[in-house]
Amino acid sequence: METKESKFFTSVSLIIVAALTLLAFIALFIYSNFEERESKEIQNTYHAEIKKIENYLNEGNCTKAFLEYEQAKVIRHTIDKRGLYYSFNAHPAAAHSLEIAECFAKMKEFEKAVSILDREGGRGPDYFLRASAVYKSAGELKKAQETQSKAENF
């Protein structure tokens, strides 16, 4: 038979365990809300960078668009590292890497255009056809042919 002291210690122990469990749930709730808010802020910042890129491309300012692209790439890496977003492979298309390369090609800055295409790559026949045109403009006929054949293989 249990004594009054052992019943008291048992009930106090249960109260302490319940209180600690409640505190743990509250801490997890606060942490998850903080993480969710921070994730939304990072994603909103990324989307704002993409809008800036689009604006600079509309203005024909290739250099500023490229600088914003690099900034967006850093933010996107943070998003990807946290596992908050879709594949990092989608970034070049979302951030208009091909459009930036085409912008540089129009300005006759072929070296920059080709370096962007070589570094970022892409998917789909439209990308490959447009990239092939940039390579041809830059005089990179071998790369132009390779990307042309990739487009035809789609």
Determine the length of the chain: 154
pLDDT per residue as tens digits for the range 51-103: 999 999 999 999 999 999 999 888 888 888 877 665 666 666 667 888 898 89
Q: Specify the pLDDT at position 80.
A: 80
pLDDT per residue as tens digits for the range 38-65: 888 988 998 899 999 999 999 999 999 9
Provide the CA 3 distance to its chain's centre, in angstroms. 63
Which ranges in 96-140 belong to alpha helices (H)?
A: 97-106, 110-120, 125-138
Which residue has tokens 């056809």? 129
More confidently predicted of 13 and 150: 13
